[in-house]
Amino acid sequence: MKIGDIGKAVTFVTPEKLARMWGSGALDVFSTPSMIGYMEKACVMAIRSELEPGFSTVGSAVNVRHLAPSTLGKTIHTQGELIEIDGRRLVFKVSAWDESGLIGEGTHERFIINNERFLAKANRQK
């Protein structure tokens, strides 16, 4: 993987992605949790083919602004661009837009993890 790697994800504003359905607002607009989820997906898409077998990434920080509403039926495009690599820590610039323009932007941090060790640690915490 290298600085500048880009991943993309596309979704549509459907009833289950509305703020009212998530409880994150009272209106029928694309929810911030949904936007963040698709931003994360774009970041995963940017680097998943570069990871060794048995490794993946987990999100560790999100710093985004939801700038504009998107209504039912709109197409949402998200992008994650790798902007920093610090050992196992990866930082991405993220953005989201619909037919009307930019709706969200910010940064997202992920860590490369060994799947087996990560799950073993998670299971010990039960």
Residue 32 a catalytic site member: yes
Q: How many domains does the chain have?
A: 1
Which tokens belong to 74?
Answer: 């709109």
Per-residue pLDDT of the chain (126 residues; tens, 9 = 90+): 999 999 999 999 999 999 999 988 889 999 999 999 999 999 999 999 999 999 999 999 999 999 999 999 999 999 999 999 999 999 999 999 999 999 999 999 999 999 999 999 989 866
Quote the CA–CA distance of 115 and 109 in Å, as a whole number: 18
Residue 77 a catalytic site member: no
Quote the CA–CA distance of 5 and 47 in Å, as a whole number: 7
Give domain status of residue 70, yes or no: yes
Per the structure, the complete domain to which residue 30 belongs is given by 6-124
Give domain status of residue 49, yes or no: yes
From the list 40, 57, 78, 81, the catalytic residue is 40
Residue 40 a catalytic site member: yes
Give domain status of residue 93, yes or no: yes
Give domain status of residue 97, yes or no: yes
Q: Is 79 exposed, middle or buried (0-12, 13-18, 19+ CB in 10 A)?
A: buried
Q: Is 126 exposed, middle or buried (0-12, 13-18, 19+ CB in 10 A)?
A: exposed
Output the pLDDT for position 126: 61
From the list 32, 77, 105, 109, the catalytic residue is 32
- What CATH number has the domain bearing residue 64? 3.10.129.10
From the list 11, 57, 66, 81, the catalytic residue is 66
Give domain status of residue 1, yes or no: no
